Amino acid sequence: MILKDKVILVTGGTGSFGKRFVKTVLEKHAPKKLIIFSRDELKQFEMAHDIGSDPRVRFFLGDVRDKERLFRAFHGVDIVVHAAALKQVPMLEYNPFEAVKTNVIGAENIINAAIDQKVGAVIALSTDKAVNPCNLYGATKLCAEKLFISGNAYTGEAVTRFGVVRYGNVVGSRGSVVPFFQSRRHTGVLPITDDRMTRFWITLDQAVELVLTALRRFKGGEIFVPKIPSMKIMDLAKAIAPECKTEIIGIRPGEKLHEVLLTEEEARHTVELDDCYVIHPEQYWWADQKPAQKTALPADFRYSSDANTSWLTPDQLMAMASGSSAPSTGPARK
């Protein structure tokens, strides 16, 4: 058990992922201490009430923009899971400087504090929006990915290793389409930006398992991409509210028709495993850690939501939307 008797800190620990990660780790992985680091005192108060009086849990108020607070919070920490981010695309298009301060400068602060405090491992959460980004949110997450990967070159004799997990839309997370559709059922009409749209789909439990998998496997510098199913936006609308009509309103600024988790360029230095792809860095400092053998990907391989070989049925979408786990049906390459 990689987390047994470890001190773990989760930035953005009061978010959808953070709460599920904390619950899973406390129930199954026997940590020595688990620190929830976030900036919202009300959410921390509510989370503390839900958890109860577990002596292993600590709550730290702070912002990833504040490097001095991070330096203090990281003292004695073995593992950091970095989930804090600003992520609402329209809001960030209108408030771009705020996105950079949290998602980019915050990433730099995490890296520096982790190295200085000799944190053993840092896993940062990323998104399919970081691949060929067309909005500011995606651009900041791409930049953060690059910072965390290159952070491995800054460690020197320090023990710190940095890795990234990159995945798609999380079912039921705050601001996602599922609660939005559910909130509009009473109107009888669901607004659809484009009826051709597809997305990768992952549950919170799957996202947590991906992070745990990365912690078990990574050497430092890898990006872990899960094999997850796709869904069609029209199938989701029918699954959630079959009685509703749909209204096409047009693609919003910064929105894509389809998402990509792995590009042709990245495929050249990617290892395929049974449950995920592992993108290895191309930097010189990775040369000694490259695996002797790997499963070669086709020269033109591209992992995109519209060309996926695993699709969720309406029944599976309904089960996921209602809170059930997703089927473990990772896409097989053609």
Please give the single-letter amino acid code of residue 1. M
Q: Is 181 exposed, middle or buried (0-12, 13-18, 19+ CB in 10 A)?
A: buried
Residues 6+ away with beta carbon under 8 Å from 1: 29, 30
**In whole angstroms, what is the distance from residue 222 CA to residue 164 CA?**
6
Q: Is 237 exposed, middle or buried (0-12, 13-18, 19+ CB in 10 A)?
A: buried
Please give the full DSSP string across 202-228, using - where no structure is assigned: E-HHHHHHHHHHHHHH--SS-EEEE--
**In whole angstroms, what is the distance from residue 281 CA to residue 32 CA?**
32
Partners of 37 in the β-ladder: 11, 60
Q: What are the CA-CA distances from residue 31 to residues 11, 28, 54, 57, 113 (Å)?
A: 16, 9, 12, 10, 22
Query: Where do we find the tokens 């695993």?
Result: 310
Q: Catalytic one among 129, 141, 232, 256?
A: 129
H-run or E-run covering 23: helix 16-28
Is 129 a catalytic site residue?
A: yes
**In whole angstroms, what is the distance from residue 135 CA to residue 107 CA?**
18
**Which of the residues are catalytic?**
129
